[in-house]
Amino acid sequence: MRESIMERKTKETDIRLSLSLDGEGRADIHTGVGFLDHMLTLFACHSGFDLSVQCVGDTEVDDHHTTEDIGIALGQAFARAIGDKRGITRYADTTLPMDESLILSAVDISGRGMLCFDLPVRARKVGTFDTELVKEFFIAFATNAKITLHIRKICGDNSHHIIEGAFKSVAHTMGKAVRIDEGARDRLPSTKGVIE
């Protein structure tokens, strides 16, 4: 099974996270940040990954440390769970509608952490959640997962719809990229002979 458990403890957050890439989309999310719980639950459902996140963070300061550190832990868990990448599809993309918004995401499980992000939103907050933290989450995730991740808004007005569309789009993209190509189960999808 392609799965991993991560624990990350700092003076700002205490996180326990488990991830299974060959799951059923089950989620058990308790971050202390309601909007992030909602997004991570969507991420699990739409990727098909089983994801459990328990976090105690300094949300009395704000949601930044919790959001970024969960992105780090999720990225590290992904990098560990994917293993040597043999047999994976590697590349995938999704254009996903969320009501009036339309979001594109694309990934290369490249071994090189990079985020290209063009997701403007009008609102500074959705509920109590700072919308600028969406980018911080995805930077932390892509860097630590060692993937090249593109996220782009094609259109959209409602900030909640745009952000939710981004998490759903990335989830679908990640789910497709990690699928095993049954016709090439023992093949590493790289002419270099290694993905790192």
pLDDT tens column, 56-102 = 999 999 999 999 999 999 999 999 999 888 889 999 999 999 999 99
Sequence-ordered alpha helix ranges (H) in 58-158? 64-82, 133-145
Q: Which tens digit of pLDDT belongs to each residue from 26-48?
A: 999 999 999 999 999 999 999 99
pLDDT tens-digit map of 158-189: 999 999 999 999 999 999 999 987 766 666 56
Confirm or reject CATH 1.20.810.10 for domain 3-184, answering yes or no. no
123 vs 126: CA distance, rounded Å: 7
pLDDT number for residue 185: 67
Spatial separation of the C-alpha atoms in residues 89 and 181, rounded to whole Å? 6
pLDDT of residue 1: 77
